[in-house]
Structure 1
Amino acid sequence: MEYTSIPGIGKKASRFGVGTWPIGGAMWGGNDDAEALRMLHAAIDQGITVIDTAIDYGYGHSEQLVGKALKESGQREDIILSAKCGLAWKGEEVYRDATKKRITSEIEETLRNLQTDYIDVYFVHWPDPAVPVEETAGAMKELYDAGKITAIGVSNFTIDEMEAFRKIAPIHAIQPPYNLFEREAEKDIFPYSQKHNATLFLYSSLCRGLLSGKMTRDREFREGDIRKDVDPKFQQPLFDQYLAAADKLAQFAQSAYGRPLIDLAVRYVLDQSETGIALRGARRPDQLEPLSRIEGWKLTDDDKKEIDRILAETIDEPAQPDFMAPPLKKEVLES
Structure 2
Amino acid sequence: MRYKKFGKTGLEVSEICLGTWGIGGAGWDAHSDEERMDAIKAALDCGINFIDTAPAYNAGRAEQYIGETLHCLGARKHVILTTKCGNKYVDGQYIRCGSEALIRRQCEESLRNLQTDYIDLYLVHWPDPNVSMEETIGAVAQLKKEGKILHAGVSNFTKEQIEEAGKYCEIEAYQPQYSMLDGDNEAVIRWAAAQDMGIMSYGTLGGGILTGTYREVRTFGETDNRNRFYPYFREPLFSKVMELLEVMDAIASERGVPLAQIAVNWTLQQPFITSCIAGAQSRKKVEENCAGLEWQLTEDEMHRLDQAIQRYQFPVQCGEVYQRR
**TM-score normalised by L of structure 2:** 0.93
Deviations 1:178-230 (A, max 9, x none): 111111222x2222222211101111110001111322216564563122465
How do 1:5-16 residues align onto structure 2 when only pairs under 5 Å count?
Answer: 5-7=5-7, 9=9, 11-16=11-16
Relative to structure 1, is the Cα distance of residues 296 and 27 closer, same or farther in structure 2, using a 3 angstrom cutoff? closer
Question: Which residue pairs with 2:305 in the alignment?
Answer: 307
Q: For the aligned residues, what is the CA RMSD? A: 2.0
Alignment correspondent of 1:321:
317
- Aligned residue number for residue 91 of structure 2: 91
Could you say which residue in structure 2 is the equivalent of 1:224? 223
In structure 2, relative to structure 1, the CA distance for the partners of 1:29 and 1:259 (3 Å cut) is closer
**1:303-334: per-residue Cα shift (whole Å, max 9, x none)?**
33311222344x3x5143333552211xxxxx
Structure 1 contact 174–199 (Cα < 8 Å) conserved: yes
Residue 333 of structure 1: aligned partner:
none
Q: Give the residue type in structure 2 aligned to 1:318.
A: F
Query: Displacement, 1:296?
Result: 4.7
Q: Which amino acid aligns with 1:326?
A: Y
Deviation at 1:297, TM superposition (A): 3.6
Q: Within 2, Cα distance between the matches of 1:227 and 1:176?
A: 18
SS at the partner of 2:121?
Answer: strand
Query: Is contact 1:232–1:238 with CA below 8 Å preserved after alignment?
Result: yes
Alignment of 1:277-296 (within 5 A): 277-296=275-294
Measured in 2, the distance between the counterparts of 1:42 and 1:230 equals 27
Q: Residue 72 and residue 223 in structure 1: after superposition, are their counterparts in 2 closer, same or farther (change >3 A)?
A: farther
Return closer, same or farther for 1:311/1:11 CA change in 2, 3 Å cut-off.
Answer: closer
Amino acid at match of 1:285: R
Confirm or deny: 8 A CA contact 2:16 2:290 kept in the other structure.
no
For residue 323 of structure 1, give the secondary structure of its aligned residue in structure 2.
coil
Alignment of 1:1-335 (within 5 A): 1-7=1-7, 9=9, 11-186=11-186, 188-217=187-216, 219=218, 221=220, 224-228=223-227, 231-255=230-254, 257-274=255-272, 276-313=274-311, 315=312, 318-324=314-320, 326-329=322-325
Q: Which sections of structure 2, spanning at least 5 residues, go unmatched?
A: none
Describe the SS at the equivalent of 1:51: strand
Partner SS state of residue 242, structure 1: helix
- Cα distance, 1:325–1:192 mapped onto 2, change above 3 Å: farther
- Cα deviation for residue 5 of structure 1 reads 2.1
Q: CA deviation at 1:10?
A: 5.4
Structure 1: stretches of 5+ with no match in the other structure:
330-335
CA apart distance, 1:250: 1.8
C-alpha deviation, 1:253, in angstroms = 3.6
Question: In the alignment, is the contact (CA less than 8 A) between 1:4 and 1:275 conserved in 2?
Answer: no
- Cα distance in structure 2, aligned partners of 1:210 and 1:193: 28
Secondary structure at 2:181's aligned position in 1? coil
In 1: Cα distance, 2:253 partner to 2:291 partner: 13
CA–CA distance in 1 between the matches of 2:244 and 2:277? 22
Q: Give the Cα separation in 2 of the matches to 1:223 and 1:90.
A: 15
Report Cα offsets for 1:76-133 as digits up to 9, x if no partner.
Answer: 0010000000012442212110111110111001111111011000000001111111
C-alpha distance in 1 between matches for 2:320 and 2:280: 18
- For residue 243 of structure 1, report the CA deviation from its aligned partner: 2.1
The one-letter code of the counterpart of 2:225 is I
Find the aligned partners of 1:29 and 1:263 in 2 and give their Cα distance.
21
Conserved? CA contact 1:118–1:149, under 8 Å: yes
Deviations 1:10-33 (A, max 9, x none): 553111110000011112254421
The secondary structure found in structure 2 opposite 1:209 is helix
* Residues 275 and 235 of structure 1: CA distance in aligned 2, closer, same or farther (over 3 Å): closer
Give the structure 2 partner of residue 332 of structure 1: none
Q: Is the 8 A contact 2:229 2:321 kept in 1?
A: no
- The AA in structure 2 aligned to 1:36 is R
CA contact under 8 A between 2:8 and 2:196: conserved in structure 1? Answer: no
Greater alpha carbon shift after TM alignment, 3-12 vs 125-134: 3-12
Alpha-carbon separation, structure 2, partners of 1:118 and 1:275: 26
For residues 38 and 192 of structure 1, the distance between their equivalents in structure 2, rounded to whole angstroms, comes to: 37
Greater shift, 88-97 or 109-118, is seen at 88-97
Asked if the contact 1:249–1:310 (Cα under 8 Å) also holds between the matched residues in 2, the reply is: no
Identical columns (%)? 34
* Structure 2 counterpart SS, 1:174: strand
